[in-house]
Structure formats: C-alpha cells, structure tokens
Structure 1
Amino acid sequence: MNILDPQGPIAAAQKTILIDSIGIMLAIVLPTIAAIFAFAFWFRESNPRATYQPHWAYSGRLELVVWSIPTLTIILLGGVAWIGSHQLDPARPIDGTGAPVRIQVVSLDWKWLFIYPDQRIATVNTLTVPVGSPLDLELTSGSVMNAFFIPQLGSMIYTMNGMMTRLKLRADNPGTLQGLSSHFSGDGFPNMMFDVQVVPQLEFPDWVARTAQTDRVLNAESYGKLAQQSVETATSTYRLEDPRLFHAIVTQQIPAGPGPKLTSESVQPHIGDHDVR
C-alpha cells in the first residue's frame, strides 16, 4: 500500500501534489532552521564582531522578508490545492483503454461488498478489475460511516448510510493491490481490508463467467445475513439476483445494519439499585 508507488493516473497525480507541497513547505522550513543556527553562531558571546543594539525596534526590510516568504508559501500551497482539487474531483470522468466497468461498493461491519450490476455478480473482500478500464464506483454504507481507500490507485472517499458517493479510478498495471478502510468503525476495523486483482482486459470476461457459476445468490435475504457484524477472513462470490439491490440499500428500503456494539461487559452501561435516586 505504498502511496509513493502509484498504479493509476489519480494516485500518480496525488503523489505529485504531495511531493510539490512538501517541497514548497521545505522552502521555508529549511532556511528557518539554517537561520537559527546562523544567529546562534553569529551572536555567540565570543564573537567580537557581533553588535549589541538594545534600542533596536523596527526594520522595514526585515518585516518584508518575514511576511513575504510565508505569504508566497501560502499562495503556492493554495494554488496547488485549488488546482489539484478540481482536476482530481472524485466524480470527474477519466479516460481509459477499455470499456468502463460499473462497481457498487457497500461498506459493512466489518467487510466490503462489491456489486457488479451489469455482470450480475458480487464479491466480498475482493475487487477484480480489468487493467486500463475506467472504473465507475458508486459507494454507500450499509451501517456506520466508513472510508474506502486503495492507496496505489488514490482518492480516499467516505461511504455514508442513506447517501451515494461517486469515485472514478483506473488501474494501469496488472497485479494485486491492497485496499482498506481508513475510518474507524468498531472492533473489526483493523481487518476491514480487501484485495484488488487487476487482470488483463481479455481475462476479465472469463473471471465474470466463472464467478457467475457460484451457488451463492445475493438478494435481500442473503444481504441481511451478510450485513450482520462479523469479520470475514475469506473472500466469497455471489450471483446477483436483483440488480437494484444497491438502490434498495442506498434508499434504505433495506434497513441499515446495527452498527458497532460494545463487546466487553466491563464497559457496558450499568445502573445498580444504589444508583437510582
């Protein structure tokens, strides 16, 4: 999950912004550190050339330097952030070499559900995408708020119950990447990770065909069981019975999950007879 090893155009652009921002900030940090040592060396007690000016109060040139450098730094950082935030709008379409793939993402306690409505399949804790294709992700939460993040593809984005967010990504190289939840959501949060399998364009239809042969069926009933709190250590695949299942989740036609609960009796709220007044 090395953010400095991008595998897509969004992550590559974000890496550039990160490095540029650090460089701009170092332009003021490094001279300041150097000035500290320079002043300490020059105004040491043993230096007879250092002048003592007890009545000095103001220098226009010094004020110009002190205020102009931070101002320029803020302008540069603001410009980088402003331009980058518009160019890297999560919902902004991106080009690709293959047909776009629509994927519906649902964060649960404590697992990830990926629905491919056009292919009529779904997977848990594993995301398979064709290399070079624009990925059109629609995201929501089936429980508490969470955050979806594939560091090497970029653009962390929140998932919220009753809302849908959009994210456009693209993977440029075949291989296996790692995704994770980047927002705390209870006891199983550390295990909310998923694999991202980036496969060649010609292999993606074969994967879809194999996945569609599974015996598991995803519908409102099986989704209700899947939404219960559990940590899934293995991946699983489903045939999608209702392509409007994601819409039912977003519009809360299917009730949201219970959310994280306290698991230790020692931290459960307790009121004894002696507490009642």
Structure 2
Amino acid sequence: MCCTMRKALSSSDLSFIRDRLVESYTWTYVLYYEKGFELQRSITTKMIVLITTLDDTYDICATIEECRKLHEAIQRWDKTAVSLLPEYLKKLYIELLRTFKNIEVETPVNVNYDTAYLKKAIQNHVTGYLQEAEWCHTKHKPSFKNQVNVTSLTIGEPTVCLSMMASMGDTIMKIAVEWVAGVPNVVIAAGKIVRFMNDIAAFENRKSKGDVASSMECYVNEYGVTGEVAIARIYELIEDEWRTLNKARFQNHEFLPALKRIIGLALSTSLFYDNRNDVYTDSEHLHKIIKSLFIKPVLSG
C-alpha cells in the first residue's frame, strides 16, 4: 500500500514533493527494529510520507489562498471538500483520505487502534502549517518562543507518536493513545529536539524555499548574536528537553511502554540530523545505511 501511495503522489502535478518513501521506512525501522512490528512500521511510514508531502506543499508550491483551502478541506475530512481545491491539490487530498481508509483496512480486527486520533493530529498539524504560511505571506517575523511553539509541533512528533502507539497491547494502547493525543510535555520535548536538530542542520546551508524563518534564524535576529552563539544556545535547549524526557521515565510509570517509543523517536534524530547535516532531505548520505540494512545486511551468527 505504501507503493500505491508513492505512485499516487509521483504525478507530474506533484513533482515538487520529495520522494522519501525509502527514507521514511528506514526511519520506522530504527524505531521498530524488532520482529512482529510490520503494522506499526507501515502506519508510521505512511504518516511520515504524508507529513513530508504536506510540508512541501505548504512550503514550496501552494499559494496562501490554496493553503487556506487545503486547510479547510482537511478540517472537513470529506470527499465533497475536494471541490474547494485546484486540480493538483485534489490528487493530494484524495490520497490523504485513501491512506487513512487503507490504514483502517490494514489494521487487524483484533487490534483496537482508533484512527480518529490520528486524523485529528493531521488536522492540528496542518493548522500549524497554515500559521507558518500566514507568517510568510505577511512577512511576519515571529519571536523565537512563538516560532518554536508552532514548529516543534509541525515537525510531526504528535502525529508520528500517535502512529507508534499501534504497537501497544489493547489495554495499554487505549490509555497511551489518549495520553499522546493530549500532546503531553514529553511529546513537545521530543518535537523540540527534532526541530532544533533539523534547524541547526539547515542553518548553514539553508535552501531558499520561501518558508518561515527557522528557530535558528529567529534566535539570531531576536538576540543579535552570531550563528555559532545561537547554535551553542540551541544545543543547551536540546539538553533541557532531554532532561524533560529522562525525568518523565521516573514519573510516568503507567505510560512507560509508550514513553520508551517516544524517547526512541527523539534518539533517532541523531541518525538523520547529526553533524549539522540533514540526511533526510539530502538522502545520499543515507544510502550506505539503507544498503547495509536492506540490500546487503550483515547477518548475525
């Protein structure tokens, strides 16, 4: 089904979208390396691909009016809302709806995973994208705090964390899904870690996409410091967020299985955004890892 999704999003009308299906699956393999987690890898891969698709649409291609219409359609979550959209966004929107239908079909009947929470997460996600688009359209420069409050969510952690909860047993899953859907501090902390690592990687070699200023740029502009000073400060903030995650391990025992997955997601950041590189966007750096995992794996004795 992921391949069907890839084909649907690879039309000439949507050529601006990064093809990151393999990279997305690799990311989920880092999160779920154990046997028996095929469903979780599948759902999470779909969510990462959708996030990438929506991110590129709002950042690169859509006009502000198209951004507003796409946001309205996603809030309605109904096939009839496709009439709001231009032709190229109709394909994207239909694939979004189809992807969620496929997840429902793909999920075994004995797995009590409610996709309504995941739909709401996507709706909240694009609300953040629209806020970024409005900032960019009006040339508004948000404060560092406001920028981080929005972009630590649009980096995708609330959505991805919810998709990972499909791995829990029925009783734990219901509690975990409701907990994560409320976007607790640990989800925000994980989002800030990924956001800050992403923005550090992008800062020195920023591509001109016309998107909203990054957290790094906002910090430099607001405090009048050099890029290196800002990077040092952002690394200190990353340490603060790790303290939040580590503290939660001792305070949220009932959510420990879910918390371990969230911490794993934050840890996986080092694979994709280490040494000030963004190997998810410039994925040639990932090719060796992908080859060693899936093409010529090293077999244990």
Q: TM-score range by the shorter chain?
A: under 0.3
Q: TM-score, normalised by structure 2?
A: 0.24
Q: TM-score, normalised by structure 1?
A: 0.26
Is the strand fraction higher in 1 or 2? 1
